[in-house]
């Protein structure tokens, strides 16, 4: 949409106040008839010009709009042509820079933007969007398949799949597995593959690695039509240092802090956004709106939230303090609250997820109650404790690593993540973390997945983990699909699929996630076993029993909520799951033998390093 003169003053007023949440309609390049109009924010530039294919990269000057810090111009050009801005800073040096609001870029190693207007797509996901509006995420099962598009699958010549090709491969596969959502690692434009997309330059542009922007919209549309939500990772805290991107955009710190110490992100070799600057807020909040509203994403997983919450989070900043003497980044906190207010105003029921590793209170509490306003937070403590427990040999484990999570179950609204970060950089794959020989590694992995799936909290699993890939994740090549020729890997994939479908089939496993009564621990003081009941009013309760040692237990007493008949819906040692039990007892009858506070109990055979899921059977007659 081109800039209309009558509205320009109002738009610029809002932009400079940090209140323009759809600035992409105005800034950047937009086609008007047979020419393109350009709008760029460069408050300290002495001069600004646009250069591109159409004028042999000769500067076409832009004009300043009063003292707003914004420059405007026009050129007769064709869609798809390359362009950059040429800015002369207050130091007299002229630099070529990308368009921060560009909708498309050329393929790397080039970094020029392409003349492209707002991506257009003929959407067919109305039913999905209406369902999302009608049912908030708290009322839904949420199981997320995390995916790095560049290394999920590749062509025989190692070339990437395009967005369109990926839609035909990824969506049916994830649908069959039984997950409810796909989470894409960042697909905003970025120059370095090794950054996995977490060091961005194009906050409004799908990366050109996998095809044109419209194809990504087609991927999202196809996922919705298949009944799958799509979330993407988004990085508002920091950006790449590259000289032709946002760094010192107009020759001075523009998007980053003026204080070089605060601007420098040592941990990731990038620059921190000045989150307290109004125009930076308009830029970033417009990016969030663009992906949620224009691209129909179902949510954003906001990366590195701790880096925005604390002034002393980064290396070399251990003693940094705010104006009140505290360690909190006051600008970062205010920005995150504003982000979530804007996101929940832009679309109905988005998933706003914080990747946050500290104990900062109220991450998922509403802003009006003093919280940050996210609706979910990754439970990094649960993940770390779970992996620390299961990676040790059974005789060396401390069950309190697991049961400690019961103390803070309701502190936040959690997602339980086994993400890409846990299977890279020498940390080993989930399968490789498990102790014992190959058979016992799979047995441990199955029990750990039952713990993950039945523990209160939404779910996230990184690609390849569903079949127990042994090699840790490598971003430069596709997953080890050949593993599936091994019966144990194939059975593990089948087991995970069965588990995901059970999760969706039995609402007690998710409907009580945020309810005080949603989980009743019936055996929590036994160092070698756990038992608990997932429940929700009006739903069939699910009894979970975990045997955490490599010894079968006959006549094991499982507390149950009432007498009657019970049915085993999952036994991790069934031969179909990769275990050894060819005959699996399916039915039990509760007797009036009290156990751990329950009046009735079952006398079951509990498999070695195994788990059972048990439900009551309907009364006859």
How far is Cα 111 from Cα 126, in angstroms, rounded to an integer?
Answer: 35
CA pair distance 425, 446, nearest whole angstrom? 24
483 and 469 in contact (C-beta within 8 Å)?
yes
Contact 233, 186 (CB under 8 A): yes
Strands 63-64 and 70-75: antiparallel
Q: How many residues does the chain have?
A: 621
Q: Find residue 63's DSSP bridge partners.
A: 72
Which among 33, 42, 161 has a CA at the least distance from the CA of 95?
42
Phi-psi region for residue 366, left (φ > 0), alpha (ψ -120 to 50) or beta? beta
Do the Cβ atoms of 54 and 24 come closer than 8 Å? Answer: no
Catalytic (active site) residue 131: no
- Phi, psi for 507 (deg, rounded to 5): -60, -25
* DSSP bridge pairs for 283: none
Catalytic option among 146, 294, 355, 600: 355
User: Please, which residues have CB within 8 angstroms of residue 43's CB and are 6 or more apart in sequence?
Assistant: 69, 250, 254, 279
Q: What CA–CA distance (Å, rounded) separates 296 from 191? A: 25
- Residue 188 CA, distance from chain mean position: 14
Catalytic residue among 294, 303, 314, 600: 303
Contact 444, 451 (CB under 8 A): no
Please provide residue 617's backbone torsions phi and psi, each rounded to the nearest 5 degrees: -95, 145
Q: Cβ–Cβ contacts within 10 Å for residue 602, how many?
A: 21
Residue 52's alpha-carbon distances to 28, 82, 110, 113, in angstroms, are 14, 5, 13, 9
CB 454, CB 519: distance < 8 Å: no
CB 600 within 8 A of CB 590: yes
355 classed as catalytic: yes
Helix (H, G, I), strand (E, B) or coil at 136: coil
Active site residues: 303, 355
């Amino acid at each position: 949409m081109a800039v209309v003169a009558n509205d320009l003053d109002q738009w610029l007023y809002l932009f400079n106040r940090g209140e323009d949440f759809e600035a992409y309609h105005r800034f950047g390049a937009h086609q008007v008839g047979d020419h393109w109009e350009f709008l760029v924010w460069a408050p300290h530039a002495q001069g600004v010009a646009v250069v591109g294919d159409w004028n042999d990269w000769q500067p076409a000057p832009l004009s300043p709009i009063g003292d707003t810090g914004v420059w405007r111009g026009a050129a007769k050009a064709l869609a798809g042509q390359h362009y950059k801005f040429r800015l002369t800073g207050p130091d007299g040096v002229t630099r070529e820079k990308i368009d921060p609001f560009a909708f498309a870029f050329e393929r790397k190693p080039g970094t020029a933007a392409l003349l492209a207007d707002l991506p257009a797509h003929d959407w067919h996901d109305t039913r999905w969007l209406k369902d999302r509006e009608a049912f908030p995420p708290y009322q839904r099962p949420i199981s997320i398949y995390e995916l790095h598009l560049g290394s999920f699958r590749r062509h025989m010549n190692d070339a990437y799949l395009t967005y369109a090709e990926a839609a035909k491969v990824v969506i049916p596969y994830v649908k069959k597995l039984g997950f409810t959502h796909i989470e894409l690692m960042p697909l905003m434009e970025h120059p370095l593959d090794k950054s996995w997309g977490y060091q961005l330059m194009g906050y409004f542009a799908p990366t050109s690695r996998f095809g044109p922007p419209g194809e990504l919209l087609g991927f999202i549309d196809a996922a919705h039509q298949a009944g799958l939500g799509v979330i993407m990772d988004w990085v508002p805290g920091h950006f790449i240092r590259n000289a032709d991107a946002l760094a010192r955009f107009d020759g001075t710190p523009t998007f980053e802090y003026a204080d070089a110490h605060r601007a420098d992100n040592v941990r990731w070799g990038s620059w921190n956004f000045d989150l307290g600057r109004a125009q930076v807020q308009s830029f970033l909040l417009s990016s969030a709106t663009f992906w949620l509203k224009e691209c129909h994403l179902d949510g954003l997983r906001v990366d590195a939230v701790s880096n925005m919450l604390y002034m002393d989070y980064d290396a070399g900043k251990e003693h940094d303090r705010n104006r009140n003497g505290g360690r909190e980044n006051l600008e970062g906190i205010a920005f995150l609250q504003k982000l979530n207010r804007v996101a929940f105003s832009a679309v109905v029921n988005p998933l706003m997820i914080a990747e946050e590793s500290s104990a900062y209170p109220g991450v998922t509490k509403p802003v009006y109650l003093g919280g940050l306003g996210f609706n979910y937070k990754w439970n990094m403590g649960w993940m770390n404790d779970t992996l620390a427990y299961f990676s040790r040999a059974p005789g060396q484990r401390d069950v309190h690593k697991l049961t400690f999570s019961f103390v803070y179950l309701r502190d936040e609204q959690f997602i339980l993540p086994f993400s890409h970060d846990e299977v890279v950089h020498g940390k080993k794959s989930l399968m490789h973390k498990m102790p014992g020989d190959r058979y016992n590694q799979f047995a441990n992995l199955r029990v750990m997945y039952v713990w993950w799936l039945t523990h209160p909290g939404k779910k996230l699993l990184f690609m390849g983990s569903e079949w127990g890939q042994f090699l840790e994740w490598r971003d430069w090549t596709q997953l080890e699909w050949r593993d599936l020729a091994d019966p144990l890997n194939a059975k593990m994939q089948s087991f995970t699929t069965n588990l995901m479908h059970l999760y969706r089939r039995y609402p007690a496993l998710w409907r009580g996630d945020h309810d005080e009564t949603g989980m009743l621990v019936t055996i929590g003081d036994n160092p070698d076993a756990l038992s608990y009941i997932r429940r929700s009013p009006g739903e069939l309760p699910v009894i979970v029993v975990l045997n955490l040692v490599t010894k079968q237990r006959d006549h094991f007493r499982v507390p149950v909520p009432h007498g009657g008949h019970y049915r085993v819906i999952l036994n991790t040692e069934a031969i179909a799951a990769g275990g050894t039990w060819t005959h699996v007892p399916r039915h039990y009858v509760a007797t009036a033998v009290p156990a751990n506070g329950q009046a009735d109990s079952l006398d079951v055979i509990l498999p070695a390093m195994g788990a059972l899921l048990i439900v009551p059977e309907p009364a006859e007659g």
